[in-house]
Amino acid sequence: MSAISAEIMTSRGGKVKKGCHKGCVIQCSGIYNDKDGNYLTKRPEYETVWAHGANCGIDDQDDIAMLDRLDDDYGLDTIEMGATIGVAMEAGLAKFGDSEAAINLLKEVGQGTPLGRILGGGAAVTGKVFGVERVPVVKGQALPAYDPRPVQGIGVTYATSPMGADHTAGYAVTANVLGVGGNIDPLKPEGQIELSRNLQIATAAIDATGFCLFIAFAILDQADTFQAMLDILSAFSGQELTADGVTALGQKILTDERDFNTRAGFTKEHDRLPEFFQNEPLAPHNVTFDVKDEDLDKVFNW
């Protein structure tokens, strides 16, 4: 997948980095130009490039950008539609790597054709209609880029997050891969429950404040940064917020979300990954997702 790179964007006059405001140091937005140097879409971000690209065997970055543009125009989530097209390819509707076919499938959604309505229902619906067994979803929502077998902490988050598979709900990649906020072996189940629990609590609280979630990286490794967040929130709200107060906020949000799910018919059986993640080892480490179901049921015990 060497054809997928930031260098392609910069060589055409596009912008790899563009902040949502002048003070932004992350600058996760950008501008993508086509082969002729004309604006095509905003820069496809990491998950989009994976979902519509490597996940579907597509390595033409212009076609990935077009899929991203169509998703935006139709009001579709790029992770969900990338997974959906992958499932459609698994079902034989197109060959993996056929970007033209992928674009045409997405256009079916925009046109509202019978096939488009099926695909527009997402990966879970598409898998059911076409009889695909290996469908990467939790609670009907498609998994993002991180495979839960070699990054088991994120697998716990996928399985238990009230909203379904969502890497941002408890980004265990921090301690599993990046060494941020500690180090926990990503290939083993030990420590993953507590890691995901704490991150889901913190994330729910941060999301409620309106802060960009990227502040979590600094907060996890710098005590003074966490205190600075508390000072900002206290000044803004007129309250004297403490670390315990932020934790309580996150816990309450998750409790309310899970209560909603319970009343909607969800049970602990929905807090599970698809079985193939437990049965099919993933190279090169040849590991499966080994966190036990009874441990997944303990994530929200606080």
Could you tell me the pLDDT band of residue 77, with boundaries at 50, 70 and 90?
A: very high
User: Which distant-in-sequence residues (6+ apart) come within 8 Å of 156 by Cβ?
Assistant: 170, 172, 192, 193, 195, 196, 291, 296, 299
Q: Is residue 188 located within the same domain as residue 83?
A: no
Lowest-pLDDT choice from 30-44, 68-82, 107-121, 199-213 = 30-44
Question: Quick one: average pLDDT of 31-49?
Answer: 88
Q: Does 20 have pLDDT greater than 70?
A: yes
pLDDT band (50, 70, 90) for residue 170: very high
Q: Last residue of some domain: 91, 110, 135?
A: 135
What's the confidence (pLDDT) of residue 3?
77
CA distances for 78 relative to 68, 214, 239, 280, 281, angstroms: 7, 20, 38, 26, 27
232 and 286 belong to one structural domain: yes
What is the rounded average pLDDT of the residues 163-178? Answer: 95
pLDDT at 42 over 50: yes
pLDDT score recorded for residue 9: 67
Instruction: Report yes or no on 266 lying in a domain.
Output: yes
Does residue 1 carry a pLDDT above 70?
Answer: no
Taking residues 234-253, report their average pLDDT: 93
Q: Could you list the residue range(s) of the whole structural domain that residue 100 is in?
A: 6-135
Q: Lowest-pLDDT range, 12-26, 35-49, 115-129?
A: 12-26
Region 59-75: mean pLDDT is 95
CA distances from 33 to 16, 61, 73, 82, 243 (A): 11, 11, 17, 21, 44
Q: How confident is the model at residue 267 (pLDDT cuts 50, 70, 90)?
A: very high
CATH number for position 264: 1.10.599.10
What is the pLDDT of the chain when averaged over all its residues?
Answer: 93
302 inside domain:
no
Q: Does residue 266 have a pLDDT over 60?
A: yes
Among 107, 135, 163, residue at a domain's last position: 135
Helix-helix angle 78-90:99-111, to 10 degrees: 120
Taking only the tens place, the pLDDT of each residue in 133-153 is 999 999 999 999 999 999 999
- 128 and 150 assigned to the same domain: no
Q: Is residue 215 part of a domain?
A: yes
When pLDDT is averaged across residues 12-20 and rounded to a whole number, the result is 72
Does residue 36 form part of some domain? yes
User: What is the total count of domains within the chain?
Assistant: 2
Domain assignment present for 243: yes
The arithmetic mean of pLDDT across residues 169-180, rounded, is: 96
25 half-sphere exposure, CB direction, 13 A CA radius = 5
Question: What is the pLDDT at residue 166?
Answer: 94
